Structure 1
């Protein structure tokens, strides 16, 4: 029997850690966390936020790490090796990443364009009309349109070419080096941005609005659900990213300690983003003669592409501030985009025994085409908003529930996975992890799924037509399910389970002995 091709690896623990943090720190940290915190108790929100990080975020991060490192493969390969019929769950996670890839690239193209627009404040006196009208050429109402916005094509093409370039270079020379370059640069740029924001008139009023605690909100179950949702969506867990990334770790790798560092680093950046965003919003409120609570557009794309251009036009040195802000969006988004793409490329490589260049070209070509036809049209913003809502809050939550319940109760692999974590980690994971993964996390996620699903079914979303939500929202979730079933059924490379592909404790002991001799 032919020997399997040796699996790619990170250069070391630091390379993996930077890639993991780069994946977690994305657009949601900058434009989602500040608004969610503000609307859910301000400073008091940090209490449920920290509880959610410790009881759900980090435990699921540990689970992803353990699965990827123990079973050495992409998500479909890992779940196939974990239990009979498990490949479909892996492909469901890949499908979620595929969908997110298609619209994430468009947002990066927007950010890249606005980095350039910041130089001369091209949005003029009305950023709303510029973004929605001149730039996106947004239709008056949701629908299906093949009317592609021409000036979106060049930045979108450049984004996909950059992603393709990193993918072709591989895990160590592409993904790892991109994160080693972009993540420190992101931290420096954003730190400069925050420091500048803190010295703006009205900055303290903005920070008071964000951090003044409303402890009465702690009795509101919606606040706790919002905290779990924010942690869950910001850590890149339960849809294949960390499973894939951890599979490239060397056998002797400290999984648990790395997970703790990645989890707290992501949350630290979110809080830093909250400080920067609300200090800036405080300045805007002061300049407008209104309270921070009277401002609109404090979360999502409108915050970034309408509210911030307004602020940039008001402040001294606005163009520099704009380049820093939108440049930070590009860097944060690109490191996340690379991680999402790696999930899909790795799965296709392993299933069909393709080379990295061929798999990368195929995936980027297909996703790039879909991103143009669905998200770069005059109805693209509506489609992006809808697909993002449903694929995140229905698709990813469903994936996490299935993963935790199957691992904990179906195949009962938690003891084996905890032993694996403890075998390679300095920080020892106790029985508390079993209870969190088996009981607390599934219950919280089921409540979140039930609450969101009920709201979407009864109230709809953003007043969009029901037919449109069924097609683009529930349709995105349905597409992920069909994608999973089809790719599971397709014939592919037989999983031979070579010894050099699966983790063996003896390999760890041999590696330690070699290091002692050296």
Structure 2
């Protein structure tokens, strides 16, 4: 076995974890959901969910990773050998996500490259909203399998960048996150926020984002939807339930302060979400649009709706083009860290569980994933991506999260994990009432209800997804049900099939989890 790497410093780990957590979900999904629920009402609910559920679950995954020195499958086996399948489910689901996330990264790269076209679209929002379709040649319908040359090049660039960032493990990741972890996204977001606030009407957008208006919720009976979407956004944006934080935690030094670091990561993630909301709301209101013009779909918001705002930004073409380039470069800097962190979580899980060199594992996973990604740059790619995204995030990830909480909260002793979280800290500790109450009761109940609600919506709506257009049953079976079956049977496959060629590493199932006397 290779000697395990460790993060070179505390700040490197924090930036890497922030880079993983702060991704496209913060930049486009958060503003879209905030608009759906009237702005401030969603922001308040999201903040409460981050505090009650986000910080405890993030701390849990990091602490278990550090204690076991394993990726997700080995970490769960260390807790209980029958729970290993939960780690494999998280890893396999992350593998599916990384395949299409790289395509979204490629779309962002393409829009950044062609942002100069906004110069010729002054006052023509219709042309601006069509730019994405012209470049990608993709649609919400399953028809055609052509591959545009531009997108093939952008996809290749995306995967080369992803591999380059993680090819040397924590060493190369540490160098990259110094710039992309928080610095570049913050610079881009602050520039755009200042521009948005300074525009006529920009302050109206600011007020809409920060002042809660619950009339939109009560008038439309959206209370349950609001809570479910806020919780879902917390889990989605923190990179938990995806095997990532187990991997990142496994490279932590023993003296790391998990409680404090996890809180910093969660607060940074929340802060970037708010800043992204400021950019979207002030810019949209600054050009005469409102939250009614925004979409809860992140893809629609970033690639179709926001370009309309860019076209109406000023009467000077080059200024609009520059703003468009800054916007998509900001998305690219957010996307790259999240993309390579998903690959890192998967490769760590596989390399740790089997006697395989981690660098070779990373290269093979990138090549295999890149080949699968080609499906999503075809003319039908957007439709396939929409189906797979719904299943991996709205169903699989939520079930995995519930299983994680059940294993830690009921099969294992959450107090032992809490002791690991609070080790090395004196001034700031996560209290037992907060952590155990969340992991044992609130989180699993919320996740199970979330899953039931999503399944109800799926069947009640007849399987209708994105853009209000239904996809064929066979497409849902291939990209939905089949992938879900593979995700939750992957533990069995890993044991029964893969070990015929690779020897599974013996995992220490008797790790000394010390449970201190916990003061709540």
2-structure distance, mates of 1:277, 1:237: 25
Distance 1:85 1:256, change over 3 A: same
State whether residues 34 and 42 of structure 2, in contact with CA within 8 Å, keep that contact through their aligned partners in structure 1: yes
1-structure distance, mates of 2:15, 2:292: 38
Residue 23 of structure 1 aligns with which residue? 20
- 1:469 pairs with one of 470, 476, 485: 476
1-structure distance, mates of 2:406, 2:120: 49
Residue 181 of structure 1 aligns with which residue? 179
State whether residues 251 and 503 of structure 1, in contact with CA within 8 Å, keep that contact through their aligned partners in structure 2: no
2-structure distance, mates of 1:224, 1:140: 28
Residue 306 of structure 1 aligns with which residue? 304
Q: What SS is found at the alignment partner of 1:32?
A: helix
Distance 1:140 1:114, change over 3 A: closer
State whether residues 355 and 505 of structure 2, in contact with CA within 8 Å, keep that contact through their aligned partners in structure 1: no
- The 5 Å alignment of 1:86-125 reads 86-121=83-118, 124=121, 125=124
1-structure distance, mates of 2:309, 2:431: 48
Which has the larger displacement, 80-89 or 339-348? 80-89
Distance 1:139 1:439, change over 3 A: closer
Q: What SS is found at the alignment partner of 1:214?
A: coil
Q: What SS is found at the alignment partner of 1:423?
A: coil
Residue 206 of structure 2 aligns with which residue? 207
Give per-residue Cα distances to partners, 1:190-214, cap 9 Å, x unaligned: 1111111211222123223333422
Runs (5+) with no aligned partner, structure 1: 506-518
1-structure distance, mates of 2:84, 2:50: 28
Superposed displacement of residue 91, structure 1: 1.1
1-structure distance, mates of 2:277, 2:168: 35
Residue 423 of structure 2 aligns with which residue? 423
**Is 1:220 aligned to residue 223 of structure 2?**
yes
Q: What SS is found at the alignment partner of 2:231?
A: helix
State whether residues 404 and 442 of structure 1, in contact with CA within 8 Å, keep that contact through their aligned partners in structure 2: yes
Distance 1:476 1:87, change over 3 A: same
Distance 1:497 1:449, change over 3 A: closer
1-structure distance, mates of 2:415, 2:139: 54
- The 5 Å alignment of 1:246-395 reads 246-284=249-287, 286=288, 292-297=290-295, 299-316=297-314, 317-372=319-374, 374-395=375-396
Give per-residue Cα distances to partners, 1:24-52, cap 9 Å, x unaligned: 10001011111211222421223322221
Give per-residue Cα distances to partners, 1:91-142, cap 9 Å, x unaligned: 111111101110011111111111111124288551333322x222235732
Give per-residue Cα distances to partners, 1:145-199, cap 9 Å, x unaligned: 542222211111011111111221211x211211112121221121111111211
State whether residues 116 and 325 of structure 2, in contact with CA within 8 Å, keep that contact through their aligned partners in structure 1: yes
State whether residues 123 and 309 of structure 1, in contact with CA within 8 Å, keep that contact through their aligned partners in structure 2: no
Residue 480 of structure 1 aligns with which residue? 487
State whether residues 31 and 277 of structure 2, in contact with CA within 8 Å, keep that contact through their aligned partners in structure 1: yes
State whether residues 34 and 299 of structure 1, in contact with CA within 8 Å, keep that contact through their aligned partners in structure 2: no
2-structure distance, mates of 1:90, 1:497: 13
Residue 515 of structure 1 aligns with which residue? none
Superposed displacement of residue 238, structure 1: 1.6
2-structure distance, mates of 1:357, 1:108: 23
2-structure distance, mates of 1:232, 1:367: 24
Residue 130 of structure 2 aligns with which residue? 129
Superposed displacement of residue 340, structure 1: 0.3
Which has the larger displacement, 314-323 or 327-336? 314-323
Superposed displacement of residue 502, structure 1: 6.6
Q: What SS is found at the alignment partner of 1:141?
A: coil
2-structure distance, mates of 1:305, 1:147: 21
State whether residues 282 and 292 of structure 1, in contact with CA within 8 Å, keep that contact through their aligned partners in structure 2: yes
Q: What SS is found at the alignment partner of 2:168?
A: helix
Superposed displacement of residue 314, structure 1: 2.2
2-structure distance, mates of 1:407, 1:194: 41
Residue 512 of structure 1 aligns with which residue? none
**Is 1:76 aligned to residue 73 of structure 2?**
yes
Residue 50 of structure 1 aligns with which residue? 47
- Report the RMSD for the aligned CA atoms in angstroms: 2.2
**Is 1:406 aligned to residue 407 of structure 2?**
yes
- 1:65 pairs with one of 31, 47, 62: 62
State whether residues 167 and 356 of structure 1, in contact with CA within 8 Å, keep that contact through their aligned partners in structure 2: no
Residue 192 of structure 2 aligns with which residue? 193
Which has the larger displacement, 188-197 or 152-161? 188-197
State whether residues 205 and 292 of structure 1, in contact with CA within 8 Å, keep that contact through their aligned partners in structure 2: no
2-structure distance, mates of 1:46, 1:378: 36
Aligned residue-pair number: 491
- 1:243 pairs with one of 236, 246, 266: 246
Q: What SS is found at the alignment partner of 2:137?
A: coil
Distance 1:111 1:503, change over 3 A: farther
2-structure distance, mates of 1:174, 1:417: 30
TM-score scaled by length of structure 1: 0.90
State whether residues 136 and 150 of structure 2, in contact with CA within 8 Å, keep that contact through their aligned partners in structure 1: no
1-structure distance, mates of 2:77, 2:15: 28
State whether residues 259 and 425 of structure 2, in contact with CA within 8 Å, keep that contact through their aligned partners in structure 1: yes
Superposed displacement of residue 419, structure 1: 1.6
2-structure distance, mates of 1:336, 1:123: 33
Superposed displacement of residue 337, structure 1: 0.6
